[in-house]
Amino acid sequence: ELKVEQNPLFLSMQEGKNYTIYCNYSTTSDRLYWYRQDPGKSLESLFVLLSNGAVKQEGRLMASLDTKARLSTLHITAAVHDLSATYFCAVSPYSGGGADGLTFGKGTHLIIQP
């Protein structure tokens, strides 16, 4: 059974600081997703990482994937209040492509304080 673990689960940080959220998964997969969820809202797709060594950046967020270590990171640079949300990583259980259900981590609840 595929397991996805995120840490930390809760993070309070100040504006302007840098921090990293970690996502570990238990079985081979070459597709990893990061989503953002605001309270009471749906999930917004942030990044899709498809191969080992993939790195993607959007604004103050950067995501990377190491399939050998089964680890993805979401790095926040110079955080601003608008980034306060819950961030989920999700992994596809099958390698080699194909649509399938995702396994989600429990989410990292991020609060950025002025």
Partner 1 sequence: NAGVMQNPRHLVRRRGQEARLRCSPMKGHSHVYWYRQLPEEGLKFMVYLQKENIIDESGMPKERFSAEFPKEGPSILRIQQVVRGDSAAYFCASSYGQVREQYFGPGTRLTVT
By the rule CB under 8 A, 101 interacts with partner 1: yes
The token pair at 112 is 């950025």
Question: What character string, x for contact with partner 1 (CB under 8 A) and - otherwise, covers 12-51?
Answer: -------------------x-x-x-----xxxxx--x-x-
The region of 20-28, 53-61, 66-74, 96-104 touching partner 1 under the rule CB under 8 A is 96-104
* Contact criterion met (CB below 8 Å) for 109 and 101: no
The token pair at 73 is 């990171």
Q: Which residues contact 97 (CB under 8 A, 6 or more apart)?
A: none
- As measured in angstroms, the least distance from the Cβ of 4 to partner 1 is 8
Q: Using CB atoms within 10 A of its CB, is residue 3 exposed (0-12), middle (13-18) or buried (19+)? A: exposed
By the rule CB under 8 A, 99 interacts with partner 1: yes
Distance CA 111, CA 48 (A): 23
- As measured in angstroms, the least distance from the Cβ of 85 to partner 1 is 14
Give the interface with partner 1 as residue ranges (CB under 8 A).
4, 31, 33, 35, 41-45, 48, 50, 88, 90, 92, 97-107
